[in-house]
Amino acid sequence: MLRSRLFLRIFGWFWVALAGMLATLLLMFLALDAEMVSTKWTPATGNHLLKPYADEALRRYVNEGSAGLQDYIHSHQAASPGRIYVFDSSGRELTGQSASARVRAMAAASSDPKQMDLRLSMREGVLSSAAIGPDSKKYAIVVEMERRPHIVPAFGLGAIWAAVLALVVVALLCLVIAKQLAAPLLQVTLATRRLAGGDLSARALDAKMAKRQDEFAALARDFDNMAARIETLVHVQERLLWDISHELRSPLTRLSLALGMARRKAGSDAKSALDRIERETEQLNSLIEQLLTLARIKGGAGPPMNEIVDLAKVVSEVALDADFEARARNRLVSLATADVCETVGSRDLLKSAIENVVRNGIRHTTEGTEVSINLAVKEQEQCAVISIRDHGPGVPDSALRHLFDTFYRVPETGEKEGSGLGLAITQQAIAAHSGWVKAENASGGGLLVQLGVPLCPVNSASVTSPESS
């Protein structure tokens, strides 16, 4: 889609620009049509262009009169497209032909037999000169080249085909230019999209592009350098997080052991302080567990991904457990529909991905309301979609696209629980199954989170869970 849009745009603009240039050139010719050349011409050898015609015409006129001149003009016209006019010194055309104002004006202006007046345009050409007849009188001779009344006859039908051919050639030229411009740009754009989508290994420079010496290759090289740097930084950060989490585990285990011993030795006065230490330790423990889980999935060191997972079964288990937990907080979790379907991957990972979303729902849904879960097979997309919707306040629209970021928590909610890792784990777990996640505010309030996972090739019919009936 992006490919064709960019290509068509570049192609379109170039074609319009070149066709516009052709049209402008044509218009310029037409504008010049009015008068391309207007000059007084005095060849050193005298007026040899018109002189032979003038001599013959005047000889015939003086010897044979107007009829002789007419005869000469007709015979001349039969052989060439020019029309000859002869004027006497009073401005009278000697054969009685009707002459245009321009021809008359040029005849009147011709006074020097050695000089030729020439006016040329795209459509006509007029030559005039003075001449002395055998009777020693002064005359003016004017030759008017045929006037073409219309642009199409002027250029002929062949010119239209030439214009069509020119446009086709221009189109082919634009096609090549557009391809040359669009291909490297598209390559960089697609690589940028992959990087933005989380694929840190995305690079723009391939063997073909590397051979180029232009700005596109430079852009691709700069992009690759940037991507490589981001990849290194992210890996260093992930490694650091993993190392810290891992190293904190042992002191935390020792802290729990010491806490047990302290409980036994301390009196009842220390109970509330020790309870607090225990709660904080548990929270720290769960945070570290989550961080390690996230790091494992990201690093591809999670559980094996080759189980055939019965999604309906997983979803019902999560719903049942979560409902038990929710009821203690005066809320409900219900499984509306669960199409029977299977996917390939890790059952544990999928379960924790769904659980994280459902737990959020329980925490945020308004007291007395329910969190509903839906599992639907989308035959066309060959995927199963798990939808989890609560009836809480939802999140600000600006927060929606950050919900799955690591450590992201919606600001200014005053929430004390949570560390912003649950949805990040969900996203990584679903991504490990080549699936997708989506969050939106549901119409009527509450947050709707959808998780899509690819289906196993064979899947059976839709059933409704016992809970919903």
Q: Which stretches of the chain bind ligand ATP, using CB under 6 A?
A: 290, 356, 360-361, 364, 390, 392, 394-395, 403, 408-410, 413, 415, 418-424, 447
Only segment of 204-212, 289-297, 372-380, 422-430 that touches Mg ion (CB under 5 A): 422-430
Number of other residues whose CB lies within 10 A of the CB of residue 208: 11
Specify the residue, 84 or 403, whose C-beta has the smaller distance to ligand ATP.
403
Q: Is 365 helix (H, G, I), strand (E, B) or coil?
A: coil
Residue 192 φ then ψ, to 5°: -65, -40
DSSP at 270: G
Q: Alpha helix locations (H) across 299-405?
A: 311-327, 347-364, 397-400
Residue 422 touches Mg ion, criterion: CB under 5 A: yes
The CB-of-409 to ligand ATP minimum distance in angstroms stands at 3
Specify the residue, 68 or 420, whose C-beta has the smaller distance to Mg ion.
420
State how far the Cα of 212 lies from the Cα of 106, in Å rounded to an integer.
63
Tokens 């040029």 -> residue: 106
Tokens 């080549």 -> residue: 434
Specify the residue, 316 or 360, whose C-beta has the smaller distance to Mg ion.
360
Number of other residues whose CB lies within 10 A of the CB of residue 315: 26
Total chain residues near Mg ion (CB under 5 A): 2
For residue 392, the partner it binds in Mg ion, ligand ATP, none, with Cβ less than 5 to 8 A by kind, is: ligand ATP
For residue 353, the partner it binds in Mg ion, ligand ATP, none, with Cβ less than 5 to 8 A by kind, is: none
Which tokens is 140 given?
A: 């003016």
Q: Are 408 and 332 spatial neighbours (Cβ–Cβ below 8 Å)?
A: no
State how far the Cα of 349 lies from the Cα of 159, in Å rounded to an integer.
72
For residue 413, the partner it binds in Mg ion, ligand ATP, none, with Cβ less than 5 to 8 A by kind, is: ligand ATP
Specify the residue, 110 or 360, whose C-beta has the smaller distance to Mg ion.
360
Torsion on CA atoms 224, 225, 226, 229, rounded to nearest 10 = 120
State how far the Cα of 242 lies from the Cα of 294, in Å rounded to an integer.
9
The CB-of-335 to ligand ATP minimum distance in angstroms stands at 17
Put residue 198 in one of left, alpha, beta given phi > 0 → left and psi -120 to 50 → alpha.
left
Torsional sign, CA 261, 263, 269, 273 = positive
Residue 361 touches Mg ion, criterion: CB under 5 A: no
For residue 184, the partner it binds in Mg ion, ligand ATP, none, with Cβ less than 5 to 8 A by kind, is: none
Residue type (1 letter), 454: P
The CB-of-439 to Mg ion minimum distance in angstroms stands at 12
The enclosing H or E element of 218 equals helix 215-265
For residue 293, the partner it binds in ligand ATP, Mg ion, none, with Cβ less than 5 to 8 A by kind, is: none
For residue 95, the partner it binds in Mg ion, ligand ATP, none, with Cβ less than 5 to 8 A by kind, is: none
Specify the residue, 141 or 423, whose C-beta has the smaller distance to ligand ATP.
423
The CB-of-289 to Mg ion minimum distance in angstroms stands at 14
Specify the residue, 47 or 426, whose C-beta has the smaller distance to Mg ion.
426
Residue 360 touches Mg ion, criterion: CB under 5 A: yes
Torsional sign, CA 458, 464, 465, 466 = negative
Specify the residue, 271 or 327, whose C-beta has the smaller distance to ligand ATP.
327
For residue 410, the partner it binds in ligand ATP, Mg ion, none, with Cβ less than 5 to 8 A by kind, is: ligand ATP
Q: Are 378 and 460 spatial neighbours (Cβ–Cβ below 8 Å)?
A: no
Specify the residue, 360 or 465, whose C-beta has the smaller distance to Mg ion.
360
The CB-of-401 to ligand ATP minimum distance in angstroms stands at 12
For residue 420, the partner it binds in ligand ATP, Mg ion, none, with Cβ less than 5 to 8 A by kind, is: ligand ATP
Which of 356, 383, 374 is closest to 452 using CA atoms? 383
The CB-of-360 to Mg ion minimum distance in angstroms stands at 4
Specify the residue, 347 or 402, whose C-beta has the smaller distance to ligand ATP.
402
Specify the residue, 303 or 420, whose C-beta has the smaller distance to ligand ATP.
420
Only segment of 260-268, 300-308, 336-344, 421-429 that touches Mg ion (CB under 5 A): 421-429
Torsion on CA atoms 9, 13, 19, 22, rounded to nearest 10 = -160
What is the Rg, in whole angstroms, of the alpha carbon atoms belonging to the chain?
46
For residue 390, the partner it binds in ligand ATP, Mg ion, none, with Cβ less than 5 to 8 A by kind, is: ligand ATP
Which tokens is 372 given?
A: 């509903």
Specify the residue, 302 or 422, whose C-beta has the smaller distance to Mg ion.
422
Residues 6+ apart with CB under 8 A from 464: 337, 338
Only segment of 3-11, 101-109, 125-133, 354-362 that touches Mg ion (CB under 5 A): 354-362
Tokens 């890790």 -> residue: 346
Residue 392 touches Mg ion, criterion: CB under 5 A: no
* Positions in the binding site for Mg ion (CB under 5 A): 360, 422
